[in-house]
Each structure stands twice: as C-alpha cells, then as structure tokens.
C-alpha cells in the first residue's frame, strides 16, 4: 500500500487538522504498520499528535470510525483527540505515546507490565454500539467442527498483540492500533500473546506460565484454549499461503509450537 505523506494531503484537509492542533510544524510518516494510507506523527505547538486515516469514500473508512469508537472504550488505548473529515479524507488524531516497545523475551523486566495490561484487556466489555464480527465469525471455517462454543465471548479484545503495538510508558504498558479489535473471550488477548512470547524466546510451557498469571486465562478450560491454539495456527497458515510476508513464517512456527504443546499436554 502506498502511504500518503502529510504534505501530499489536500490543503483543505491540512487546514482542518491545523484548526484542531495549531500550526503543524512538521510530520513524520510512520514506518511500521501496513494498513493505513495515512499514518504519521505531527509536530505541533501543543506537542506530538499521532494521525491515521484514509479517503472518506474508501470501502474501509468504516473501520476507522469503528476503531475510534473502540478506542474510546479501551482504557489502555491512547486517547482519541479529534475526528476530521475534509478534502476527501477521514482522519483521526490520537494522543502520542512516548516510550519504547517492550522486550518480551524470558526474564524481561517488561513482563510484569505486560501481565497487568493483559489483565486490563480481559475486563472491558465490548461496546454494543460498535458493530463488528466477533472472533468466532472472523475465523469462520478455520474453527474445528463442534468447537465453536469455545470461542464465544463479549470482551473487547485487541487481537493483534505484536510488541510493535505495545508502548512502555511511565503509566504502564499501553496498546496502540485497535483496528482489528473485536468481541472475543475475556482471555483472548492473553492467548494471542502466547505465540508472541514463544517467538520472543520462551518455550511453550514458559509462555503459558506467563499467560496463567492472568486470571481469565487461568480460568479458561483446557479445551477452549486448545481450540484457540489450533484455530490460530490454521488462520496464520492460511494467511502465509495467501499473502506471504517476511515476518509471518516465524510467527506461524511459534503458533505451531504452541498448538503442538497443547496437543501433547492433552
């Protein structure tokens, strides 16, 4: 996807944003992430602002509106500052979070903050006003036959638990980019984190030991978690076949290690 630079936006769009932020002194286009046609950090007299958006008539414009509504309900998300629709663009401004991405490797000092964040994501109900497919429907035919009930849930789940979507701040570890959020079991974000921990160097057993520090995950049935692990592997294998990307193979192998571990443990 071509990422539009701030300077390439129509003048009407930039003026509408400046009316919210004050004079834009400069902009740095984001180098991470692939989904948003525009994603940048604006330098303004009031401090940096992260902006993302798309063409107002794009088929995906609804996703940005839904993400904004979700973000307002997700206590671990950056604050939504404003919405601008002008010059044919739909843009959202979010509070800029200062800090590095966490280290998810074994023994990392960031792991306790990660557990606190997962505890937080397990407690927020899905906002009924936001209409999105639940995780079960998103995964569709990849769910093993007769196991659909294992993935039913109504918690606000982020679902994209990459360390690149995590920011370590003085107030704790926060999550950015809620575009893929959906209703899911309370333990879903913790489960999504298990293969990320394996990818970062944990064994499957070590990763699950971290996950079990989150009460919602510890209370989930072994069958439900195993269904999740099997389905996630099937989903990631399918994505790798259809749209291979450099990072996907290692993540799929981590998901496979987890699914195999659970199969043996069962």
The residue count for the chain: 266
Q: With contact defined as beta carbons under 8 Å apart, do 34 and 1 qualify?
A: yes
pLDDT tens, residue by residue, 158-210: 999 999 999 999 999 999 999 999 999 999 999 999 999 999 999 999 999 99
pLDDT of residue 265: 58
| Whether the model pTM is above 0.95 | no
CA dihedral 131, 236, 184, 176 (to 10 degrees): -70
pLDDT band at 77 (very low <50, low <70, confident <90, very high): very high
Considering only CA atoms, which of 1, 51, 43 is closest in space to residue 23? 43
- DSSP tag of 141: G
Terminal C-alpha separation, the chain: 42
Residue 53: phi, psi to the nearest 5?
175, -170
pLDDT of residue 75: 85
CA 40/CA 17 separation, integer angstroms = 13
pLDDT band at 109 (very low <50, low <70, confident <90, very high): very high
Q: With contact defined as beta carbons under 8 Å apart, do 156 and 132 qualify?
A: no
Q: With contact defined as beta carbons under 8 Å apart, do 250 and 244 qualify?
A: no
- DSSP tag of 125: B
Considering only CA atoms, which of 14, 18, 55, 61 is closest in space to residue 38? 55
| Own/partner long-range contacts of 135-142 (Cβ < 8 Å, ≥24 apart) | 135/159, 135/182, 135/183, 135/184, 135/185, 135/188, 138/182, 139/231, 139/235, 142/231, 142/234, 142/235, 142/238
Average pLDDT of span 52-80: 94
Per residue, the 3-state secondary structure of 22-47, as one string, reads CCCCEEEECCCCCCCCEEEEEECCCC
| Own/partner long-range contacts of 204-209 (Cβ < 8 Å, ≥24 apart) | 204/257, 204/258, 204/260, 204/261, 204/262, 205/261, 206/106, 207/258, 208/261
pLDDT of residue 243: 78
Considering only CA atoms, which of 185, 184, 177, 175 is closest in space to residue 138? 184
């Amino acid at each position: 996807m071509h990422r539009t630079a701030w300077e390439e936006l129509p003048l009407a769009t930039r003026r509408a944003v400046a009316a919210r932020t004050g004079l834009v002194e400069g902009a740095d286009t984001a180098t991470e992430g692939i989904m948003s046609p525009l994603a940048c950090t604006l330098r303004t007299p009031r401090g940096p602002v992260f902006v993302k958006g798309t063409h107002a008539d794009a088929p995906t414009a609804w996703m940005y509106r839904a993400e904004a509504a979700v973000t307002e309900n997700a206590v671990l998300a950056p604050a939504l500052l404003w919405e601008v629709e002008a010059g044919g663009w739909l843009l959202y401004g979010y509070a800029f979070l200062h800090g590095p991405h966490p280290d998810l490797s074994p023994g990392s000092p960031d792991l306790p903050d990660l557990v606190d964040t997962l505890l937080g994501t397990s407690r927020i109900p899905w906002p009924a006003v936001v209409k999105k497919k639940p995780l079960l429907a998103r995964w569709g035919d990849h769910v093993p036959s007769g196991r659909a009930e294992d993935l039913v849930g109504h918690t606000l789940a982020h679902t994209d638990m990459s360390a690149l979507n995590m920011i370590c701040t003085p107030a704790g570890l926060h999550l950015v980019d809620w575009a893929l959020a959906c209703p899911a079991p309370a333990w879903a974000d913790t489960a999504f984190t298990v293969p990320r921990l394996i990818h970062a160097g944990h064994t499957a057993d070590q990763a699950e030991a971290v996950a079990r520090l989150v009460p919602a995950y510890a209370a989930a049935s072994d069958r439900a978690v195993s269904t999740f692990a099997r389905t996630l592997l099937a989903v990631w294998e399918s994505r790798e076949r259809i749209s291979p990307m450099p990072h996907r193979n290692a993540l799929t192998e981590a998901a496979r290690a987890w699914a195999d571990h659970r199969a043996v443990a069962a």
